[in-house]
Structure 1
Amino acid sequence: MVDASADGSRQRLLAIDLDESSIARSTPDIEHERAVAIYDLLEDNHFAPVGHDGGPYRLALAIVENRLVFAISLEDGTALATHVLSLTPFRKIVKDYFLMCSSYFEAIKTASPSQIEAIDMGRRGVHNEGSQILLDRLEGKIEVDFDTARRLFTLLCALHWRG
């Protein structure tokens, strides 16, 4: 766990909990991406619920009835806000992202470096598109920077993944 007070920023996440009942076990590659995204997110993020100056924050992510739930609490566990987003705007982009991931993971086994690079560029482009959708959906609710949105999108995919 990263100490959020180390850099003096209070507008940040200090902990992330993923609802285990929302997560279907998947490939080691996807599990690895999820772990890296959580680590990177805790290492460096900007997360500011609109209208609140406190923090740092804890975030619990879950998928409930086809909705993405952001349950935000303060460092001491006091509930602050819950935001629920429809997953409908994410369906196609998540599907495209996982198709690109599958292609990438297959390519790294046998493809040439230039083919791998081309697939990875496409994968990153789709990931950026999903991150922008998430930024747009959080507008007026939670202020995040693009890098934080990228890592949150990776976690959304980890929750959305059903094998």
Structure 2
Amino acid sequence: MAEIEDQESTQAAGGKLVEVVLDEASISRSTPDVEHDRAVAIYDLIDENVFQPAGQPEGRFVLNLSVVEKKLVFDIKTDGGEQVVTHVLSLTPLRKVVKDYDLICQSYYEAIRRATPSQIEAIDMGRRGVHNEGSSILMERLEGKITVDMQTARRLFTLVYALHWKG
């Protein structure tokens, strides 16, 4: 059933991200694990996504993601460089879940090095649950602004988490 809903939202949205740029002033270098997660999220996001700004024709979009004055900024352009829209979202609704996700990620990365497979799996299940919660909040915050599916929201949440290091 969820697969059918995802397919329907993909067909309804039509737009696609073809590039994602994280504002270097908004982030700082972090652990190799977080850097790897960030790179994979961008790669996966570009590979497969549903991203359609409300009121815009279907197209190929470039997303510049940054944190400015403790606000999350989605600056969207066409792949030809034309400005489409900028959305500024408060980070307050995401703050607690990002903090929780950070704590559980630290536990997960530590467990990978020292824990048993069953302990790693248990921590990873918790990590995925918190990640889904953050993704759902992000989808709610984007509602009426940008249409995204859950997979796109999950990958965007990973990038929001990456921005939290400095933002």
Band the TM-score falls in, shorter-chain normalisation: over 0.9
List 4+ stretches of structure 1 deviating above 3 A: none
The answer as to 2:157 corresponding to 1:153 is yes
Letter in 1 for 2:63: L
Matches within 5 A, 1:12-161: 12-161=16-165
Q: Deviations over 1:62-86 (max 9, x none)?
A: 0000000000001100001000000
> In structure 1, what is the equivalent of residue 9 of structure 2?
none
TM-score by length of 1: 0.93
Letter in 1 for 2:29: R
Q: Deviations over 1:45-65 (max 9, x none)?
A: 000001111311000000000
Cα distance in 2, alignment partners of residues 80 and 51 from structure 1 = 10
Alignment root-mean-square deviation, CA: 1.3
Letter in 2 for 1:94: V
Give secondary structure in 1 for the equivalent of 2:133: helix
Task: Work out whether residues 97 and 126 of structure 1, in 8 Å CA contact, stay in contact via their aligned partners in 2.
Answer: yes
Task: Work out whether residues 70 and 91 of structure 2, in 8 Å CA contact, stay in contact via their aligned partners in 1.
Answer: yes
Task: Work out whether residues 26 and 162 of structure 1, in 8 Å CA contact, stay in contact via their aligned partners in 2.
Answer: no
Letter in 1 for 2:69: E
Task: Work out whether residues 24 and 161 of structure 1, in 8 Å CA contact, stay in contact via their aligned partners in 2.
Answer: yes
Task: Work out whether residues 72 and 89 of structure 2, in 8 Å CA contact, stay in contact via their aligned partners in 1.
Answer: yes
Task: Work out whether residues 26 and 166 of structure 2, in 8 Å CA contact, stay in contact via their aligned partners in 1.
Answer: no
Aligned length: 155
Show structure 2 runs of 5+ residues with no match: 1-12
Give secondary structure in 2 for the equivalent of 1:92: helix
Letter in 2 for 1:89: P
Show structure 1 runs of 5+ residues with no match: 1-8
Task: Work out whether residues 19 and 61 of structure 2, in 8 Å CA contact, stay in contact via their aligned partners in 1.
Answer: yes
Q: Could you tell me how far 1:162 is from its partner in structure 2?
A: 3.6
TM-score by length of 2: 0.90
Identity of aligned residues (%): 64
Q: Deviations over 1:76-120 (max 9, x none)?
A: 000010000000011100000010000000001111100000000
